[in-house]
Structure 1
Amino acid sequence: MNDDELMSGVREAFETLDPVPADVLAAARASIAWRAPHATLAELAHERPGRTAAGVRGAAARTLTFACPGSGIETVEIEVAEHGRHREITGRLVPSSPALVEVRHRDLPPDGITARAEPAGLFCVPRVPQGLVSLVFRLDDGSSIVTSWIRL
């Protein structure tokens, strides 16, 4: 028995005894379409849980700050407000810069929800499904920034 035959037998055993769930395979295949190999990773640096001010109506909004070392953007600040099953993400790029904002979520196609950050760096993305989300910012200079995954 050679190595290829041995690995084939191991693969068949795992497929029979402990198959990979279909949704895990679908998420893995979709993640390939989400690759942005030259993008700068913006990692979560600070999170403030949602609080509603006294006398103010509406749901509390969570505030998150992502640090972007090595890019022209120092931080990405977002605020997440709940609206039933959906979330609304508002935010800004610091320093300000125009950009295309893309939302990555397993239930959305690769080119799913997009919005435009205006020259002041402000953006709003309504009706984002709850769950794991990552944002991609495609700056007008051709560079990209990708946030780490967060649960909304």
Structure 2
Amino acid sequence: MNDDELLAGIRDAFNVLDPVPDGVLAAARASIAWRAEGATLAELARDRGGQPAAGLRGAAGRVLTFACPGTEVEIEVAEHGRDRELTGRLVPSAPALVQVRHRDLPPDAITTRAEPAGLFCVPRVPAGLVSLVFRLDDGTSIVTSWIRL
């Protein structure tokens, strides 16, 4: 018995004894469609959930900051029942097409524009796992890591 035959036997045993759930396989296959090739990943740097932003009065919202080399994306999340409203800005400011990626929606279901000052607002985003893609007018792209809203 060679290594390939041994690995095939082990794989067959796992498929019988502990198969991967169909939902997990479907999610893994679908994740390939969510890739944003050539985009710079902006990872979550800060999550101020429920803490009021400095100098603001009123209800505490969730403020998220995503960072990548040379750019930050700041997003405030306001809850409206099952939906969320996302307001934010790109730092440094730049105009961009903003695409919301949500696991329960088609890829281009929610889009808006960030104005030249980098400000944007996305109303009615369903609660759940979300990632944002910013397609800047200079041809570059930034994608945020996935976050549960």
TM-score, length of structure 1 as denominator length? 0.84
Residue type of the alignment partner of 2:27: A
User: How do 1:1-150 and structure 2 match up within 5 A?
Assistant: 1-51=1-51, 56=58, 60-70=60-70, 74-150=71-147
Alignment length (residue pairs): 146
Quote how far apart the aligned CAs of 1:69 are: 0.7
Q: Deviations over 1:1-40 (max 9, x none)?
A: 3333322222221111111122211221111111123211
Residue type of the alignment partner of 1:91: G
Residue type of the alignment partner of 1:39: A
What is the distance in 2 between the residues matched to 1:79 and 1:93? 12
Residue type of the alignment partner of 2:108: D
Query: What value does the CA root-mean-square deviation take over the aligned residues?
Result: 2.0
Q: Structure 1 residues 112 and 16 mapped into 2: Cα distance closer, same or farther (>3 Å)?
A: farther
What is the distance in 2 between the residues matched to 1:30 and 1:103? 16
| 3-state SS in 2 of match to 1:11 | helix
What is the distance in 2 between the residues matched to 1:129 and 1:15? 35
12-21 or 105-114, larger mean C-alpha shift: 105-114
Residue type of the alignment partner of 2:114: A
After TM superposition, the runs of 4+ consecutive aligned structure 1 residues lying more than 6 A away are none
Residue type of the alignment partner of 1:147: T
What is the distance in 2 between the residues matched to 1:20 and 1:139? 39
